[in-house]
Amino acid sequence: MTDTYLNLVNSGFTKKIAQQLGLPRPAILRRFRPGQPLVDGPVLVLGSGPDADTVARVLSSTSGHGAADGGIDPASTMPGRDLDVRRDPGAGDRYAAVVLVLTEVAHPNDLADPILKLGSVLKALPAHARIVTISRPATPDEGPATAAARQGIDGILRSVAKELRAGATANGVVVADGVTVTAPSVLGALRFFLSTRSAFVDGQLLDVDTDGGALPLDWDRPLDGRVAVVTGAARGIGAAIAATLARDGATVVAVDVPAAGEQLAAVANRVHGTALQLDVTAPDAGTRILEHAMARHGRLDIVVHNAGILRDKLLANMTAERWGSIIAVNIAAQLRINEQLLTSGDFTTEPRIVALASTSGIAGNRGQTNYAASKGGVIGMVRATAPLLTAFGGTANAVAPGFIETDMTAKIPPVMRQVARRLNSLQQGGQPIDVAETVAFLASPQAGGVVGHVLRVCGQNLVGQ
């Protein structure tokens, strides 16, 4: 759906009027296009110590595929053109991205130097700039001072994200103690946050738990040879996910209810995949998905649980039918499908489960107790399911969209829709492609160390975290 206000305040005469009146002017976000550079300009790496030096070296290194023995060669892991990496801010310099390596922070006093250096360049950041922190988790084992400093980075990152303008974003990678900054998922997450693939991801911190996963041989097609199932694929976010996974090299099985058969076939044909007409609430849905994938494509590697419905009502007016239908589609079906896949013996080659949660499942929403229960349930499900996949090199994670421009949100009354669009740091709704890019990242080999987490795609919605 078109955001008329967004287009008006970014074009011609109405742009000047908006400037004169001091109206909010959300930027038209720059989204991914094949062939574009990772970042378009110099990158400033702030921080001291070996980790900061290593990150700077990796970012400035020549594109490559890693060590011949399958290990990670820090000098050849970041794809794309060599980047112009600087270690200290220069007077008058404009940076396309700033990476703050804060893994060695041990006391709140250690934050002043890198953070104030960041502050000194904020006003000169160009449109669509990227800020990424790399830090360690605040755990009690590290002692009060270190935990305080590390938790402080969370608050800094989220606050900086709310100060940025013109489509710039700030996100963080939280690296578990014992995991190096050259682990595949650290570099993969860093690349994702620096790129235009994360255009609507803002103010978020992503945990990297292990050194699992691998950097792809081809960064343009990291899912080559993989077979992915996408439920609810006939339209909207599901169709965008199917197209994005196919773009990244996956063979896609598009799943939706028989009533959407014509649209489903069109999506499957567009992505050169196959269609499976199936109600995900069927008792044997997981078995039928697996049988289709094995018979048509010989394997199944990725499952994206996107199918979902809304039945909004204030709790005082909630009926058993409204409650039950939401739970059946949005969470009970996912649990049943996962169980059938995990017990089949055929979902064991670095499997990936990516489920669609929602910011409603995190912060709640008026009139959505049933929906919030189901989406909160998705978050709990991936946390508990992820450990069951680690023995096979697999992961389970969730994506939590905020306000996304779809047919579903188009039904919201106009005034409420405008308000919902502006209630985030980027002051606009996201697009289905924004959710799809995040799903594709979590389904990729370079996210193998992200285990049981939720990544929000909400433009840093002002409600909740």
The pLDDT profile of the chain, 465 residues, written as one tens digit per residue, is: 677 777 777 877 777 776 766 677 788 899 999 888 899 999 999 999 999 999 999 998 844 333 333 344 443 445 445 789 999 998 888 999 999 999 999 999 999 999 999 999 999 999 999 999 999 999 988 899 999 999 999 999 999 999 999 999 999 999 999 999 999 999 999 999 999 999 999 999 999 999 999 999 999 999 999 999 999 999 999 999 999 999 999 999 999 999 999 999 999 999 999 999 999 999 999 999 999 999 999 999 999 999 998 898 999 999 999 999 999 999 999 999 999 999 999 999 999 999 999 999 999 888 999 999 999 999 999 999 999 999 999 999 999 999 998 877 777 777 777 777 888 899 999 999 999 999 999 999 999 999 999 999 999 986 544
- CA dihedral defined by 267, 3, 199, 160, rounded to 10 degrees? -150
Residues 80 and 143 in one domain: yes
Nearest-10 Cα torsion for 196, 197, 201, 203: -50
On whether residue 257 sits in a domain, the answer given is yes
Final residue of a structural domain among 144, 174, 208: 208
Residues 282 and 388 in one domain: yes
Longest CA span, the chain = 65
**Number of C-beta neighbours around residue 318 at 10 A:** 16
Active site residue 371: yes
For residue 131, give the nearest of 102, 151, 91, 90 by alpha carbon.
102
Distance CA 175, CA 209 (A): 7
**Catalytic residue (choose from 5, 192, 323, 371):** 371
36 contact partners, CB below 8 Å, separation of at least 6? 196
Number of structural domains (the chain) is 3
* Domain assignment of residue 214, yes or no: no
**Which residues span the domain enclosing 3?**
1-30
Quick one: 296 and 165 in the same domain?
no
CA pair distance 270, 256, nearest whole angstrom = 15
**SS3 call for 85:** strand
Q: Residue 205 is which amino acid?
A: L
Looking at the structure, do residues 26 and 36 belong to the same domain, yes or no?
Answer: no
Q: Is 131 exposed, middle or buried (0-12, 13-18, 19+ CB in 10 A)?
A: buried
Q: What is the CATH number of the domain that holds 164?
A: 3.40.50.720
> Where is 302: in which H helix or E strand?
strand 302-305
Edge to edge, the sheet with strand 302-305 lists: 274-277, 251-256, 227-231, 302-305, 352-356, 395-401, 454-457
For residue 385, being part of any structural domain is answered with: yes
In a 13 Å sphere around the CA of 268, the CA atoms on its Cβ side amount to 20
Query: Does residue 282 share a domain with residue 186?
Result: no
- End-to-end CA, the chain: 26
- Residues 261 and 6: their CA atoms lie apart, in Å, by 34
Instruction: Give yes or no: residues 184 and 44 share one domain.
Output: yes
Residues 301, 406, single domain; the answer is yes
Is 449 in the same domain as 327? yes
Helix, strand, coil shares, percent, the chain, to 5:
45, 15, 45
